[in-house]
Every structure is written in C-alpha cells, then in structure tokens.
Amino acid sequence: MLKTLSGDVNSDLKYGLSGLATAPIGYLVLLFLPVYLEVIGSHLSLNEQQIGWLASTDSVGLALATLLFSIFIKRLNFRKVVLTGVIITVIGNLLSALTQDFLLLCLVRSVTGFGEGLIVAVGISSIGMTSKPNRWFGFYTAAIVAVQALGLLVVPIIYDHLSFSGVFISMAVFYLIPLVVMKILPSKSDDYHLNKGDEFPTFKQSKRLFNLALLGLLFFYMSIGGVWTYISFMGTNAGLTLTFVSRALALTMIAGLVGALIFAIIGKLAKKIGLLFFSLLAMSLSLWGVNSEITETRYLVALCVFSFFWSIAGARLFAVISDVDHSGKYISAAQTVVGVGYIFGPILASTLVSGISYTNVILMGSVLFSLCFIFILPLARLRPI
C-alpha cells in the first residue's frame, strides 16, 4: 500500500515537473506575441492586417500537430515526439532568422508551429496524467506566466542588441530545454493509472459535454488571440512608448503569477463555477479600461487585472477537461482548439480594427468570453462519484 502510494507521488512529480518544463516552451511565440509582433512588424514594415496574419501562422502548425497527436495518441512514443518537435522548432527558428520576405516567413513559421505543437501536446498530456490536475494546471499556468514575463522583457532587448535574427536564434536555444527532461516524461498515453477513489463517472453524454467544453475553450482563446495580438498596439498607438509597454506587460505577469499560484493552492474552491464566471467577467471589464484615454497607470492596472484572472480562468478551463479525462486524448485535443483559437482570433480581430481604434476588438473579446462560459458550464458541473 505504502509502495503504491509512493509510486503514485513519484509519478505525479515526474509527469508534473516534466510537463511544466515542456509545454510552456512549446508556446513561446504565443506567449511573446505582443512584443514579438511589434519588433517583427517594425523590422519588416508590416501593416495591421499582415500583423494579424503573422500572429496566426505558428498556430496553424500547432493546431495541426496537436490534432494529429490526439488522433494517434495511443500509438505514439511521447519522448520521440518531443525530440521530433525540438528538431523542427530549432531548425525553423534558425531559418526564420535568415528570412526577410513576409510570405516566406509565414510559411516557415507555420512549419515551425508544427514542431511547437508536438512539444505542447506531450507536455500538456503529461500534466493531465497527474492525479490532481487542478493543482498542476495552476502550477502550469504559473510557469507559463513566468516564461511570458521573461520574454516580454527580454525580446525588445535582444532586438535592440542583436536585431531581427537575434530574436529567432534566441528562441531556437530555448526550444532545446525539453531535451533536459525528456527521460522523465511519460513514454505513452496509458502510463497513467487511476488511483482507487479518484475515479470520475463515465457518462454516455460525456462526449457531447466534452465537445461543448472544447467549443467554449475555442471561444476563450479566440478572444485571447485577438486581444493579445493588439494589446501592445493599443498602448503604443495611444502615445505610450514600446519600452514602457513591454515593461508593463512583463510587470502584469506578476499579477498573473499570483493568480496562478492562488488557484493552485485553494483546493476545492478552485472548482467553484462562480470563480470561473467572475474571472471571465473581470477580464472583459479590464479590457474596456484600455479602450480610451489611456495613461500609463490605467494601462498597467487594467492589464494586471486581466492577467490575474486570465491565469485563474485559463487554468480552470484545462482542469475542467482533465478532471474527467486522464487519458490525454481530450486534453491534447484541447491544445488543437487553443491553436485554432490563436489562428482565427487574430484574423478576426484584424478585420475589426478601424484606424487606430480597437473598440470592436475589445467588444469581440467580451462576447467570446461570455460564450466561453456558456459552453464550458455543462462539463464544469460534473461531480465525482
């Protein structure tokens, strides 16, 4: 009995920690998106619509990779998948450093995104195989926020000192990190064994509820993708400097980190539906705080609120799915949905930008957050036996 318990704890640590060192790395470009687009857009003199399309390119490959992973998950060796993903992303970023043509860069980034998706799929599946996914997804969100804060601070500095190519070469180095933890990743999808007493009911309607939840997740990340693409431009077009905006975005990650850690430690309270509702509402309201008459203080405070509740809502949305499914199938499919959201969100937002006005983008984000809650609610209401 004690040996079994020790084995479960050991597996939790291995799967959780290796997932934390893997999945956030796969999401690097999406995490750095605001300042990444600022520096690339400036270097290549891109217009607002081109920026929206460029923001979607990595997500195309990421969505395809995670979709294929979820379909063939039972046949795949997770460690070989990660190795393949690392090779693709490193080569893709090195090629990006040499590319000056917009269309060619979009093509290279789409292929690179496929490698990113492989890394993300394995990392998220590993976290989903832990016995307490709610807690581990809180830690995962904290790791995401920490990486995001680092990138938002460092990318403009790298660009200033090493120019366009230096940004991509630096990212290529980051993508080597998953190799360090590759040996403690699960090797296949059935490495997870449910502990007696931790089982959730398997209802016939679960598939329908999962599909509704995935649709809700799609709306959430369409909103995030669209708003996050232009959040930096909302500041700089209102007269704030890029230096201040990048630092403000990095500082707001502290609020996000606090939100993620609070979510990880509050236990059963994290599963309250009211908390998810309030988090999505607070995110919507904070966006309107950067809609007009932006000052440095107003911009910083609004984004701190947004980041704090983004961490809580994002962690809970993944945990809702993983609470009911430990196989990795649906949580991997969720990453496909995230990728699709990051594809269509920026594209939709780019069609709504009017001059230097982002009111329609913020309205889009608010509506999508509302739809997210409506569609995730049925699965979130499931309770263990």
pLDDT single digits (tens) 319-346: 888 777 766 678 778 878 888 888 889 8
Greatest CA separation found in the chain?
66
CATH fold label, 9-190+202-380: Growth Hormone; Chain: A; (1.20.1250)
Both ends of the chain: CA-CA distance in Å?
23
How far is the CA of 58 from the CAs of 63, 73, 91, 104, 123, in angstroms? Answer: 9, 22, 14, 13, 18
What is the average pLDDT value for the chain, to the nearest integer?
Answer: 84
Residue of 213 and 159 predicted with greater confidence: 213
pLDDT at 2 over 60: no
pLDDT at 356 over 80: no
pLDDT at 197 over 80: no
- Residue 143's pLDDT is what? 85
Cα radius of gyration (the chain): 20
pLDDT, tens digit (0-9, with 9 covering 90-100), for 23-36: 889 888 877 777 78
Task: Determine which of 23-27, 132-136, 309-313 has the lowest per-residue pLDDT on average.
Answer: 132-136
pLDDT, tens digit (0-9, with 9 covering 90-100), for 244-297: 887 888 788 889 889 988 988 887 787 889 999 999 999 999 999 887 778 889
pLDDT, tens digit (0-9, with 9 covering 90-100), for 232-255: 888 888 888 888 887 888 788 889
Domain range annotation of the chain: 9-190+202-380
Percent pLDDT > 70 in the chain is 91
Please state the rounded mean pLDDT for residues 188-192: 64
Task: Determine which of 21-35, 163-177, 188-202 has the lowest per-residue pLDDT on average.
Answer: 188-202
- Residue 111's pLDDT is what? 95
Q: Which has the closest alpha carbon to 287: 271, 273, 299, 295? A: 299
Please state the rounded mean pLDDT for residues 293-319: 90
Task: Determine which of 68-72, 108-112, 264-268, 280-284 has the lowest per-residue pLDDT on average.
Answer: 264-268
